[in-house]
Structure 1
Amino acid sequence: MNEIKIFCPATIANLSCGFDVLGLCLDNVGDEMIIKKSTTKGIRITKIVGADLPLETEQNVAGVAALALIEAVEAKLGPITIGFDIEIYKNIKAGSGIGSSAASAAGAVFGINALLESPFEIKDLVQFAMQGEKLACGNAHADNVAPALLGGFTLVRSYTPLDIIKIESPSELYATVVHPQIELKTSDARSVLKQNVSLKSAIMQWGNVGGLIAGLYTQDYDLIGRSLHDEIVEPIRSVLIPGFDLIKQTALENGALGSGISGSGPSIFALSKGAATAQKIAKAMSAVYEEMNLPYEIHVSKVNDQGMKII
């Protein structure tokens, strides 16, 4: 195989209570990438469509992630005599809060690994994709790249050493995501966070993380809903998002199990049981932003249990 075309899915990270450790993979929202083998060594970003992003390899999240993978492959197998050309077709807006940088970073390592006949398992690719996230926001977090690569829900139990657990999604769980057309950089959204939290808040957060994981494993939708509560990050970040409180209230009033900030924002997610409820929530969310005269995009998606897909 000399060329591969892949679908690189969008993701929702944090999921209210799981800051930097929880994420899920969306099914019908994402970028596409074409990666080709080249006789010229090195990594080149040859085309980007849909976004104004740098073509320079060391300044592009896909390029940085790919370089990290190549370095590890050469350490494992010896020098590589070929190179790779990467085309990126962006459908996820940068700064939207649904894993734009993660899709590019994860897609690059997934595609190159496949063209090299898979020297690394999929789960092992997360560490390389994280280097793209580090370039994007200064922090090598895995809560977007892990679900993008593995699919379903993922829990980052530990970063040192990296330990990631995949959790299958309950069969009727759907996500609705609304993206007000403003950009909120992850680095800016991280800068407003406090470095210390109270023990009381931490205990409440631990309980909700445990409850959410238990709810996913047991397919207890009510428990999932009760656990989608963020005591620490959402109260600080929500003020950066237009109409956040009203959107969240509207989602809950229309049947959402829970609602919160998608990643670092400004997108807002809601989880629900069943496609009909998810569509009802989407209509209600849309009405709020239409009343505010604020442009937006809205997505309704089942949870994608596969992750990256070869087209």
Structure 2
Amino acid sequence: MNEIKLFSPATIANLSCGFDVLGVCLDNVGDEMIVRKSDVKGVRITKIVGADLPLETEKNVSGVAALALLDEMEADCGFEIEIYKKIKAGSGIGSSAASSAGAVFGINALLGNPFSAAALVKFAMQGEKLASGSAHADNVAPALLGGFTLVRSYDPLDIIRIESPPELYATVIHPQIELKTSDARSVLKQNISLKSAIAQWGNVGGLVAGLYTKDYDLIGRSLHDEIVEPIRSVLIPGFDRIKKTAKENGALGSGISGSGPSIFALSKGKETAEKVAGAMCKIYDEMKLPYEIHVSKINDNGIKVLALK
């Protein structure tokens, strides 16, 4: 096997209450990538379609993630990477994570899978560090593992995968503005009140319990953010109206997807998720703000192999 073509999915991070520790994998939104072996050692980004991103290996998140993997093992070949971007940078649905996770997944597969999917997370995190200044795993973990993921600890890295309740669907609306993760992180407070922390802990526990028990009402009650959303939401046009209308149209709950500006909602059933999507679109249509809208079931598998050569 000398070449692999793959689909690297978009993800929703934080899920309101789980800043930097919770994420979920989407099914029908993502990038395509081709990774192939080369006789020349090292990593080269040979093509990027759909985005103006650097081809220099050390300046590209996929290149940095790939180099982190190769630093841990001896390979008798090099690798070339082509990236076909479908996830816009700065959209809040894991654009950099898709490139980082896809690169390490592809190289690992061509080397005979010496690392497990969970072990690949630490390499993909280095791409996230380049993109945002923080080596967080809440996007790359669900992209690699599928379903929902909880980062119990970063030191040492300890990630728990959680299967999605079968009827859970995500709706994501992306207003066509760019909000860089590094900028969105810069507005956050470094200290929070004990009262807010207690509320947040309760919601994280409630969300995880709701996912395990398939208690959709509990999932909805737990999609509440005491800490980050009140600060970041002012950066997103129409956020409060979008969130209110999502709930009124049957969503279990909603919030900021990652660092924004995308807004997500979780719903029980595809019909409700599509109804929520229509209501969200109507608000941005009224505001005359361009947007993209996605309705997706939860992807329990993560990155998908499209072709092998």
TM-score by length of 2: 0.99
Percent identity for Structure 1 against Structure 2: 82
Once the two structures are TM-superposed, the CA of residue 81 in structure 1 deviates from its matched residue by 1.9
Q: Which residue of 1 aligns with 2:154?
A: 159
Matched, 1:216 2:190: no
Matched, 1:265 2:260: yes
Once the two structures are TM-superposed, the CA of residue 209 in structure 1 deviates from its matched residue by 0.2
Once the two structures are TM-superposed, the CA of residue 110 in structure 1 deviates from its matched residue by 0.2
The CA distance in 1 between the partners of 2:209 and 2:68, in whole Å, is 35
The CA distance in 1 between the partners of 2:238 and 2:72, in whole Å, is 45
Alignment gaps of 5+ in structure 1: 75-79
Per-residue CA deviation, residues 91-117 of structure 1 (Å, 9 max, x unaligned), is: 000000000000000000000000000
Q: Which residue of 2 aligns with 1:172?
A: 167
Give the match's secondary structure for 1:189: helix
Q: Which residue of 1 aligns with 2:86?
A: 91
Per-residue CA deviation, residues 134-186 of structure 1 (Å, 9 max, x unaligned), is: 00000000000000000000000000000000000000000000000000000
The CA distance in 2 between the partners of 1:132 and 1:81, in whole Å, is 23
The CA distance in 1 between the partners of 2:113 and 2:268, in whole Å, is 36
Q: Which residue of 2 aligns with 1:299?
A: 294
Q: Which residue of 2 aligns with 1:71?
A: 71
Matched, 1:189 2:199: no
The CA distance in 2 between the partners of 1:97 and 1:201, in whole Å, is 24
Q: Which residue of 1 aligns with 2:238?
A: 243
Q: How does 1:43-62 map to 2 (within 5 A)?
A: 43-62=43-62
1:40 is aligned with what amino acid?
Answer: V
Once the two structures are TM-superposed, the CA of residue 43 in structure 1 deviates from its matched residue by 0.0
Give the match's secondary structure for 2:189: coil
CA contact (8 A) 1:48 1:88 kept: yes
Show structure 1 runs of 4+ deviating over 2 A.
Answer: none
The CA distance in 2 between the partners of 1:24 and 1:300, in whole Å, is 14
Q: Which residue of 2 aligns with 1:81?
A: 76
Once the two structures are TM-superposed, the CA of residue 73 in structure 1 deviates from its matched residue by 1.7
The CA distance in 2 between the partners of 1:46 and 1:58, in whole Å, is 13
Q: Which residue of 1 aligns with 2:224?
A: 229
CA contact (8 A) 1:31 1:89 kept: yes
1:284 is aligned with what amino acid?
Answer: A
Q: Which residue of 1 aligns with 2:200?
A: 205
The CA distance in 1 between the partners of 2:257 and 2:268, in whole Å, is 18
Q: How does 1:141-152 map to 2 (within 5 A)?
A: 141-152=136-147
CA contact (8 A) 1:73 1:119 kept: no
The CA distance in 2 between the partners of 1:8 and 1:73, in whole Å, is 23
Once the two structures are TM-superposed, the CA of residue 294 in structure 1 deviates from its matched residue by 0.1
1:48 is aligned with what amino acid?
Answer: I
CA contact (8 A) 1:3 1:34 kept: yes
Give the match's secondary structure for 2:170: strand
Say which of 121, 131, 135 aligns to 1:136: 131
The CA distance in 2 between the partners of 1:281 and 1:50, in whole Å, is 28
Give the match's secondary structure for 1:95: coil
The CA distance in 2 between the partners of 1:206 and 1:81, in whole Å, is 47
TM-score by length of 1: 0.98
Matched, 1:256 2:251: yes
Q: Which residue of 1 aligns with 2:303?
A: 308
1:21 is aligned with what amino acid?
Answer: V
The CA distance in 2 between the partners of 1:11 and 1:45, in whole Å, is 23
Say which of 279, 283, 287 aligns to 1:284: 279
Per-residue CA deviation, residues 238-294 of structure 1 (Å, 9 max, x unaligned), is: 000000000000100000000000000000000000000000000000000000000
Q: How does 1:18-29 map to 2 (within 5 A)?
A: 18-29=18-29
Once the two structures are TM-superposed, the CA of residue 124 in structure 1 deviates from its matched residue by 0.1
